[in-house]
Structure 1
């Protein structure tokens, strides 16, 4: 019987990156895309052999989820790998204190993560940590990468790391990001994150003027607030998709309400994704990396290495 892996991740890019490779390697994948509470439930009902958790989850965070899994007598024996993007020293300490059995730094390296998956599944007892004590003494140190230079972590740092893997990257300084929103406070928050990451930033506060200004600015990525005066994000997104020079630009809807109805309607008008308010740095950086900085490896490029990992 194939090993069963539970993948707990809200980010669709994480799921779409990992699920095909895990399946090709012969694993059965169970997805939990609605947050840590769903992940905990499936960990109990599905009894997976391994759990992969994106630490950036809504409601119950990935760290809280790991703590709950490792504190429960029902699930503490299941190896857990955290998918994390540490940006501060406390973030990295949280990795070690969480009780996870392995971690993979984001952006994800497919070869690295599948190697760790194989190690955890073949030697679960030697890798599994005691709750709250971090990696066990006998754990394979390859399961915990060397801590990054926290004071140097940025989008450009990720570029350098990925360059060693042969990834094709877009130069940060050539990318312009636009946020269409009438809120000055939200615009300032977004500007701070985007400019610190090394991208040009423009705010369009009047949605009526959005299309002509977008044609002039020629952005690489558009954040679009859903609730604005005179019109709404759905209508603006529809107009963007009708303009031949703008129709292929990623548009991310920013909203306080990301329920299923809003997601379906956003998909219908051509939105590329969602960003939930309040605006958080990690979530914005993840979207920047997804749409501007990283080209994922193709299945064909990985095929030749798949056999040695299973």
Structure 2
């Protein structure tokens, strides 16, 4: 198994500069390519440009929240298979269920640790590795 992950592209969508920067640092230390978006509209523009293999998406954002952003991404045939992991400061059952309803694969509670973030990438980024292996 290739642990470098250097070809794996990860998009982090969060309106908090602090969360975006810490996620970027953790992910780059893990050897991943990182792209940042500050809200749902920014994310939708960047998804087409960077073609991420995995997306971390905050739930509470201005203009377009994480649920709406995830639903729009999942409705696009080109990105429907890209795993989306919701980020929230609340660890509620309702939030997790609602995230699954719009197509998210997983849920991380903020503040997350470097280990939690990298574990999620290893778990859900493996889909990308399996697809790339057959090409």
TM band (smaller chain) = 0.7 to 0.9
Aligned match for 2:38, one of 177, 181, 205: 205
Aligned match for 1:249, one of 78, 82, 95: 82
Q: What pairs with 1:57-72 in structure 2 (closer than 5 Å)?
A: none
Is the 8 Å Cα contact of residues 256 and 278 (structure 1) preserved in structure 2?
Answer: yes
Q: CA 1:244–1:170 in structure 2 vs 1: closer, same or farther (change >3 Å)?
A: farther
| Structure 2 residue 88 is the aligned partner of structure 1 residue 272 | no
Is the 8 Å Cα contact of residues 222 and 249 (structure 1) preserved in structure 2?
Answer: yes
- Residue 212 of structure 1: how far off its partner (Å): 2.5
1:260 maps to which residue? 93
1:173 maps to which residue? 6
1:286 maps to which residue? 119
Q: Which structure has more RCO (C-alpha within 8 Å, separation ≥ 6)?
A: 2
Q: What pairs with 1:74-223 in structure 2 (closer than 5 Å)?
A: 159=1, 169=2, 172-223=5-56
Is the 8 Å Cα contact of residues 4 and 30 (structure 2) preserved in structure 1?
Answer: no
Equivalent-residue separation in structure 2 for 1:259 and 1:243 (angstroms): 28
- Residue 206 of structure 1: how far off its partner (Å): 3.0
Aligned match for 1:237, one of 65, 70, 73: 70
Is the 8 Å Cα contact of residues 39 and 64 (structure 2) preserved in structure 1?
Answer: no
* Number of aligned positions between the proteins: 128
Secondary structure of the equivalent of 1:194?
A: helix
TM-score computed with the length of structure 1 as normaliser: 0.39
- Residue 170 of structure 1: how far off its partner (Å): 7.9
Q: CA 1:238–1:218 in structure 2 vs 1: closer, same or farther (change >3 Å)?
A: same
- Residue 257 of structure 1: how far off its partner (Å): 1.1
TM-score computed with the length of structure 2 as normaliser: 0.88
- Residue 294 of structure 1: how far off its partner (Å): 7.9
1:47 maps to which residue? none
Kindly name which structure, 1 or 2, has the bigger radius of gyration based on alpha carbons.
1
